Amino acid sequence: MIDVKYSLSKHIVSGIRAIFPRRTAEYFALIGLILILSIIVMAIFAPLIAPYNPIKKVGDILERPSNKFILGTDGLGRDILSRIIFGARTAILVTFLAISISLSVGVFLGLLSGYIGGKFDSVFSLIMDAVYSFPGLILAIVLTAMLGPGIVNTAIAIAVIYTPTYFRMVRGLVLSLKESLFVEAARAIGARDRTIVFKYIFPNVISSVPIVLSLNAADAVLTLAALSFLGLGLPAPTPDWGFDLKAGHAYLAAKIWWPSTFPGLMIVILTLGFSLLGEGINELLNPELRR
């Protein structure tokens, strides 16, 4: 009896220990995940959480943070806390949209180009390299300026910046895998090209994606914030962190710090969440080896 109890409690303890992060990297990933999920929750349940309507004037302009308006009001008398909560929606929505587009297009084109090879591949790679080496924000600025405001347009503009990243990664993997033996073997047993791509190459490619994905998401949040900071991308009354940051900038000299500080803080938190997650995953998958 005593033996059973002992081994049981030992199992419970090691089970709990297993969930708890041990290495620094696991801490990073965990914190990152918590941050991201909190903001997603904020976005989803915004109407329930936010105390006021984010686009209506509910108080005097530029009121200090108080019990009534926890983070104060902005230059148009809107509650900053509510605007931040609803701002999570645009941030999450545009980011995920942009990432999905660039991921699917980039991976697809990468697979295609890598597999087909030849002139098609050369031309495409050159184009992708050109876009990749160009300062992303500037490209996005010009695109949004030309495409016009709107969530979808902004997402597309941001997606264009990151597509080459996935393209290059996938194409590189396809090229090296193309030469590798198990594809030869697959072909030797008569597998069709399409099967080869999906069954053999695709799964190998997938494993490198999560890290790049997190880091790109972090970047996308920053790009979106930058675009709305510049007044591009999203139409005016939409609650958006970058936009509010800019709006609050004008009042700085008068020591009115709250309209800018809080939206900016949210941007930093979300970006940090993605960065930490990416770092953590990277450490976990490619740990620093100590002999």
Partner 1 sequence: MRMASLKVYIVRRILLAIPMVFILLGIVFLIMRVAGDPVSAILGGHAPQEQIQQIKEQLGLNRPLLIQFFDYLGQLLRGNLGRSLIWGQRPVINEIWDHFPATLELSVCSFIISVIIGIFTGMIAATHPNKPLDHTFRLYGIITYGLFIPWIGIMFQLLFGVYLGLLPIGGRIGTLMEPKIITGLYILDGLLTLDFDSLASAIKHLILPSLTLGIYLSGIYTRLTRTHLMEILEKDFIKAARARGLPEKVVIYRHGLKNAFIPILTMMGLQFALLLVGAVLTEITFSWPGMGSLLFERITYRDFTTVQGTVVFFALIVVTVNLLVDIVYAYIDPRIRY
Residue 279 binds to partner 1 (criterion: CB under 8 A): yes
Look up residue 71 and give its DSSP letter: T
Are the beta carbons of 283 and 28 closer than 8 angstroms?
Answer: yes
Those residues whose C-beta lies under 8 Å from the C-beta of residue 12, and which sit 6 or more positions away, are: none
Are the beta carbons of 264 and 5 closer than 8 angstroms?
Answer: no
Residue 164 binds to partner 1 (criterion: CB under 8 A): no
Task: Compare residues 209 and 265 and give the one whose CB is closer to partner 1.
Answer: 265
Are the beta carbons of 204 and 175 closer than 8 angstroms?
Answer: no
The full DSSP string for 243-288 is HHHHHHHTTGGGT--HHHHHHHHHHHHHHHHHHHHHHHHHHHHS--
194 sits in which H/E element = helix 193-195
Residues 110 to 129 in contact with partner 1, rule: CB under 8 A: 126-127, 129
Q: Where does this chain touch partner 1 (CB under 8 A) — which range of 42-50, 179-187, 192-200, 254-262? A: 254-262
**Of these, 49, 145, 151, 186, which contacts partner 1 (CB under 8 A)?**
145
Size of the site for partner 1 (CB under 8 A): 52
23 to 62: interface string for partner 1, x by CB under 8 A: -x---x----------------------------------
Are the beta carbons of 226 and 137 closer than 8 angstroms?
Answer: yes
Residue 135 binds to partner 1 (criterion: CB under 8 A): yes
Residue 261 binds to partner 1 (criterion: CB under 8 A): yes
Angle at 242 between CA 241 and CA 245, to 5 degrees: 85
Compute φ and ψ for 73, nearest 5 degrees: -120, 160
39 sits in which H/E element = helix 24-44
Residue 146 binds to partner 1 (criterion: CB under 8 A): yes
Residue 272 binds to partner 1 (criterion: CB under 8 A): yes
**Of these, 98, 218, 234, 281, which contacts partner 1 (CB under 8 A)?**
218
Shortest gap between Cβ of 133 and partner 1 (angstroms)?
6
Residue 151 binds to partner 1 (criterion: CB under 8 A): no
Length of the chain: 291
Task: Compare residues 30 and 137 and give the one whose CB is closer to partner 1.
Answer: 137
**Of these, 96, 108, 200, 257, which contacts partner 1 (CB under 8 A)?**
257
Look up residue 234 and give its DSSP letter: S
Nearest to 225, CA basis, from 114, 95, 123, 124: 95
Residues 229 to 248 in contact with partner 1, rule: CB under 8 A: 229-232, 242, 245-246, 248
What are the angstrom distances between the C-alpha of 23 and each of 32, 152, 208?
15, 40, 21
| Amino acid letter, 144 | T
**Of these, 45, 134, 182, 198, which contacts partner 1 (CB under 8 A)?**
134
Shortest gap between Cβ of 12 and partner 1 (angstroms)?
30
**Of these, 33, 62, 175, 268, which contacts partner 1 (CB under 8 A)?**
268
**Of these, 89, 111, 271, 281, which contacts partner 1 (CB under 8 A)?**
271
| Amino acid letter, 90 | T
- Point out which residues bind partner 1 (CB under 8 A): 24, 28, 126-127, 129-131, 133-139, 141-143, 145-148, 218, 222, 225-226, 229-232, 242, 245-246, 248-249, 252-253, 255, 257, 260-261, 264-265, 267-268, 271-272, 274-276, 279, 288, 291
